[in-house]
Amino acid sequence: MSRFTPLLLVVACAGQPTLPPVDGGMLECTVTAPTSCTQAGLRYADVKPIFEAQCTTCHAGNPGGSWPLTDYQSIADWKDDVRGDLLNCSMPPYDGGVPMPTAQRQTLLEWIRCDMPQ
């Protein structure tokens, strides 16, 4: 270890984005968990464009990248995590660019609540 290591660590950490608190602050997470299936007509084809707009830029399954959300089965395999992250607004990440519209979040949650019709 060189004596410069602590300084480098400080510099590296300073470059990290500061995450706003999940329960308020800068982040607006007003999405609510659907208690029943009210949009039974939603199909994978309806929500696929939302996953493509909001998730697959990162979750494309590229080597070294995040695991895929590019097809039905991958989403189904991660259903509970996807739901949880949509609900607490931890995905897409705050530093990923444009915030995801609440309406899109809600639509994905409705579809999951209806058991993800294909």
Q: Which of residues 79-108 bind ligand HEC (CB under 6 A)?
A: 81-82, 85-86, 91-93, 96, 100
CA atoms of 102 and 116, how far apart (whole Å): 19
What is the smallest separation between the CB atom of 107 and ligand HEC, expressed in angstroms? 11
Query: Is residue 66 involved in binding ligand HEC (CB under 6 A)?
Result: yes
Burial 59-90, CB ≥16 within 10 A → b, else e: beeeeeeeebbbeeebbeebeeebeebbbebe
Query: Is residue 47 involved in binding ligand HEC (CB under 6 A)?
Result: no
Would you say 92 or 113 has its CB closer to ligand HEC? 92
Query: Is residue 44 involved in binding ligand HEC (CB under 6 A)?
Result: no
Applying CB under 6 A, which of residues 20, 39, 74, 78 lies at the interface with ligand HEC?
78
- Give the interface with ligand HEC as residue ranges (CB under 6 A): 54-55, 57-59, 66, 69, 78, 81-82, 85-86, 91-93, 96, 100
